[in-house]
Every structure is written in structure tokens, then in C-alpha cells.
Amino acid sequence: MNEFLNQWGEAAFTSLGFFWKSAWAFVLGYSISAMIQAFVPKAKLTHYMGKLSVKSVGVSTAFGAISSSCSFAALATARSLFLKGAHFITAVAFMFASTNLVIELGILIFIFLGPQYVVAEIIGGIVLIAISSVLIKFTYPKKWIENAREKVENEAEGEDEDFDWKKRIKSKKGWDMVSNKFVMEWGMAWEDILIGFAIAGIVAVFVPQSLWEAIFLQDLIQNGESPGFLIRLENAAVAPFVAAMTFIGSMGNIPLATVLASSGVAFAGVMGFIYSDLMVPPLVDMNRKYYGIKVALYIAVIMYFSIVLTALILNYGFEIIGFIPESTKKIAAGEAFKIDYTFWFNLFFVVLSFLLVYFHIKKKKIDGNWSGFLSKNLGFKRIVVYIFTLVILSGLLIHFFRN
């Protein structure tokens, strides 16, 4: 019993350490995302995304890369672009880019996994979009897509967005929108973030090395040897299913990717795991609500094969140039709380976040529609969030009282 309580406390403290290490990155990323969403008109961008071409896919990728990293927001925006006339392939390219190439994700990967993984994430994200675009072009289910567009148009609420960004960026209304979108970003993402960091801490402490070795066939690798093709293929093919079972979105799965990397999982497997944020069941279900079950499963299948191919290309490409990262070291929870750049960055960005939240609350109270941040809907995910919150808080109490 003593051993279990010690591990419980350590898992909670590890989760807190993971979050502390990256808190500033979330605030920075969501601040940038909020400004882009407030000041970049989507309606004009869809003018370049209506026809399929290398240029339109490139515009979609660039727009996705500077957009929101919240997986649910990415799907909602992709639906909006599709509604406004974007080609299906360019909408999917945006969807993939906005969850795999965004600034805050790169910062998190740099913090937890190192610069080589950031380079891999950027190159692989572009490769992933190129592969998925080609796969969709040659397997394009025209009738399904037409039905999906009809479904989206029938369910649209007359939404449109066009404005002069130069006027908006100088106005109080524009910056009120930034604070509102910043809070909305957190409102959509905080559950995934909390669940992701809680699971990462629990997995880091409770899951034995032997289990990862069994799942990713580490016992078949001889000491000092690189994994062969079949092991790399298995790692890349299994990683999306491991990611799907975590139910975590794009930002929440980076700490767990660190656990996998530190456990000796092949580079292809780690990258496959990172790219699999859109494979989690809640996001597949969201696409089902938007486009119907056939198109949702079609997107998931395209994503899966694109991920596996991309992970293998990255693994072999980086190996050829001698850029394969070594297995990362596990982050000790205590080391995360040192007085270093993380401490000062967190201090600054906590103040920034409080200011943005304050202006959001002030604006809502003036408008007379302030009702708090949290939804009152007690769904399955919210119950899971409450359970993990209780586990982490009680674990922290155990950790501090026993140390």
C-alpha cells in the first residue's frame, strides 16, 4: 500500500511538472492563435482554396499552420472553409496543418523532445499533407463529398466573415475579440490538456518499461542495433492506435510522446504517435456530425495511411543524413520547478493570461451575458475530467504530506 501511495503521489507531481514546463507555451500559442483568428479574414482565403492546385494546398497549409491548435477548433474551421467553397482536399490540408504545424505545438515539442523532433514535425507535417492530398485525389469519393457539402450547407447558420483587418486591429472591438477568442481557445482545449498531462504522469510512473517494449517489439532489437524495417513499420502502424486509445488532442499528447521516446520506441513510432491527434474517437465522431459517417471514416483511413508512410519516410530520411534523435531522457518532476527560463516565462505569461481573461469578463459583463467559463453540461468527458482532477489533487496532497 505504501508503494502504491508513493507512486500515486509521484504520478501527480510528474503531471504537474509536465504542465509547469509547458504552461507558458500554451499561453503564447493561444494568444497568437487568438490574434490570427481575430485579424485574418477567412472569407478572402477561401478565394484561393476553391480550386485544387499546388498553390491552393500550400495556402491551406500556411493558413492551418498559423491557425488554432485545438483539434476541435481545427475541425470546426475546416468545416467553415468547406462551407464557404474550399475544395475538400484543401480543407483537409488545413485540418492536418492546424493540428500538426502550429507554433505552440512546435514549442511544446522543443521543450519536451528537442530540436530534432521540431524539424521532423515541420518536414513530416508537409510530407503528411502532400501524401494525404495525393491519396484523396486518386481515391476521391465524389458522391460522398457532394453529400457532405449538402449536409454542411443545410446545417449552416448563415455564417460569413469578411472585414478590413487594418481597421479591426486598431479598434477596441478587435482586441476584445482577441481576449474572447483566447478564452474560447482555453475553453475548448483545457479538458484535453488536463486529461493529457494527467495520463502522461500516470503512464510515466505506473506503466512498466516492459509493456512498451512488448507493444513496440523492443525485445526484438539487439543491443546497439537499429530497428529493422518490420519493427519500424509495426511501430508506425501501432502508434496511431495507442494515440486513439488515449482520447487526447494534439497539445495533450506531447508529454506522453516523451514517455514513449524515453522508453526506446522507434523514431517512426514516436512521430506516428504525435501525428495521430485527429485519430482519437471524439474527433472522428465530430467529423461524423459535420460530414456524415462515410466521409468521417474516409478521412480517418486517409490520415492513418498518410501517418504510417510519413513516419517511415522521416525515419529513413533522417537516418540517411544522420539526424535521428537519441531516446529522450525522462523529465524528473522536481527538475521542472527550477528557477530557470521556464519560471520567468510562466510568470510573464500568467500575467498576460489574467489580463486577457479580465478584459473578456469585463466585456461580457458590459454586454450582460456573462455566465462563467465552464459549461454546465455534465457529459462523459466532463466526468472523466473531474475524476482526473480529483486523482491529481489527491495525489499532490499525498506527495507533499509524505515528503
pLDDT digits (tens, 9 = 90+) for 132-146: 999 999 999 999 999
Q: Which domain holds residue 257?
A: 2-402
For 104, counting Cβ atoms within 10 Å of its Cβ (0-12 exposed, 13-18 middle, 19+ buried), the class is buried
Q: What is the distance between the alpha carbons of residues 277 and 298, in angstroms, rounded to a whole number?
A: 16
Interval 57-80 mean pLDDT: 78
- Confidence at residue 143, expressed as pLDDT on a 0 to 100 scale: 93
Which residue in the block uniquely carries the three cell numbers 490540408? 93
Are the CB atoms for 129 and 93 separated by under 8 Å? yes
Provide the mean pLDDT of the chain: 81
Considering only residues 305 and 339, tell me which one the structure prediction assigns the higher pLDDT.
305
Are the CB atoms for 116 and 45 separated by under 8 Å? no
- Confidence at residue 249, expressed as pLDDT on a 0 to 100 scale: 59
Residue 198 pLDDT greater than 70, yes or no:
yes
Are the CB atoms for 102 and 63 separated by under 8 Å? no
pLDDT tens by residue, 229-276: 888 999 999 999 988 876 665 666 787 888 888 877 889 999 999 998
With a CB cutoff of 8 Å and minimum separation 6, the contacts of 71 are 99, 192, 249, 250, 277, 278, 280, 283
Which one-letter amino acid corresponds to residue 307? I
pLDDT band at 44 (very low <50, low <70, confident <90, very high): low
pLDDT tens by residue, 389-398: 998 999 889 8
Q: What is the distance between the alpha carbons of residues 4 and 232, in angstroms, rounded to a whole number?
A: 35
Are the CB atoms for 99 and 164 separated by under 8 Å? no
Residue 159 pLDDT greater than 50, yes or no:
no
With a CB cutoff of 8 Å and minimum separation 6, the contacts of 329 are 262
- Confidence at residue 190, expressed as pLDDT on a 0 to 100 scale: 79
State the DSSP code for 156.
Answer: -
pLDDT band at 42 (very low <50, low <70, confident <90, very high): low
Instruction: From 270, 208, 261, 262, select the one nearest 240 (Cα to Cα).
Output: 270
Q: What is the distance between the alpha carbons of residues 144 and 291, in angstroms, rounded to a whole number?
A: 9
Label each residue of 56-71 as H, E or C.
HHHHHHHHHHCCCCCH
Q: What is the distance between the alpha carbons of residues 268 and 315, in angstroms, rounded to a whole number?
A: 5
Q: What is the distance between the alpha carbons of residues 42 and 1, in angstroms, rounded to a whole number?
A: 56
Most confident by average pLDDT, 130-144, 171-185, 312-326: 130-144
Burial 302-331 (b: 16+ CB within 10 A, else e): bbbebbbbbbbbbbeebeeeeebbeebeeb
- Confidence at residue 124, expressed as pLDDT on a 0 to 100 scale: 94
Find the DSSP H helices in 293-367. Answer: 293-320, 341-367
Residue 283 pLDDT greater than 70, yes or no:
yes
Which residue in the block uniquely carries the three cell numbers 507558458? 24
pLDDT band at 330 (very low <50, low <70, confident <90, very high): low
State the DSSP code for 218.
Answer: G
Count the residues in the chain.
403
Could you give phi then psi for residue 330, rounded to 5 degrees?
-65, 140
Quickly count: other Cβ atoms within 10 Å of residue 373's Cβ: 13
- Confidence at residue 380, expressed as pLDDT on a 0 to 100 scale: 74
What is the maximum alpha-carbon separation in the chain? 66
- Confidence at residue 312, expressed as pLDDT on a 0 to 100 scale: 95
Percent of the chain with pLDDT over 70: 84
Are the CB atoms for 208 and 21 separated by under 8 Å? no
Instruction: From 18, 95, 62, 73, select the one nearest 253 (Cα to Cα).
Output: 18
- Confidence at residue 308, expressed as pLDDT on a 0 to 100 scale: 96
- Confidence at residue 293, expressed as pLDDT on a 0 to 100 scale: 92
Are the CB atoms for 273 and 310 separated by under 8 Å? no
With a CB cutoff of 8 Å and minimum separation 6, the contacts of 268 are 232, 233, 235, 236, 239, 311, 312, 314, 315
| pTM (two decimals) | 0.74
Domain count, the chain: 1
DSSP 13-49: HHHHHHHHHHHHHHHHHHHHHHHHHHHS-HHHHGGGT
Are the CB atoms for 111 and 278 separated by under 8 Å? no
Residue 316 pLDDT greater than 90, yes or no:
yes
State the DSSP code for 330.
Answer: P
Percent of the chain with pLDDT over 90: 21
